[in-house]
Amino acid sequence: MSALVHRAHFEAETRLWAPVLSILEADAEHLGIAEHVGQLDVIHTVDLDYPGMLTVAQLRRGGVPSGIAAAVHAVRHLPEWGADALVATVAPKAYYGRGVPVLDLNR
């Protein structure tokens, strides 16, 4: 992840987005990550609007954790904002079959 942050710092065409709900879930597993993400000016947050909330609710009913559902919604809608988006994650299997491209950060 640090390589992506470094790249975004020096390359304007690289934008990093993090759904706030995903950050909240990550902070529950890794205390302090929310503060850390907030200090990185190259990471832009994605708020959960009504359509996003509906997507998260529908995916949760199928057993998908809220943070993953929020990331799926964000990636599906970032192209509308003029970006080629993917999910960068250490848990790529959680996104398989969800119709979003994934960058496995374990490699």
102-104/16-19 β-pairing: unpaired
Q: Name every residue whose Cβ is closer than 8 Å to that of residue 31 and which is 6 or more positions away in sequence.
A: none
Task: Output the pLDDT for position 31.
Answer: 95
pTM: 0.86
CB count in 10 Å sphere of residue 52 = 20
Q: What is the pLDDT along the chain (107 residues), one digit of tens a residue?
A: 777 888 778 887 778 889 999 999 999 999 999 999 888 888 889 999 999 999 999 999 999 999 999 999 999 887 655 667 889 898 999 999 998 999 898 88
Range of the domain at 75: 2-104
**Number of domains the chain contains:** 1
Task: Output the pLDDT for position 10.
Answer: 85
Task: Output the pLDDT for position 80.
Answer: 59
Task: Please answer whether residues 19 and 25 qualify as being in contact, where contact means their C-beta atoms are separated by less than 8 angstroms.
Answer: no
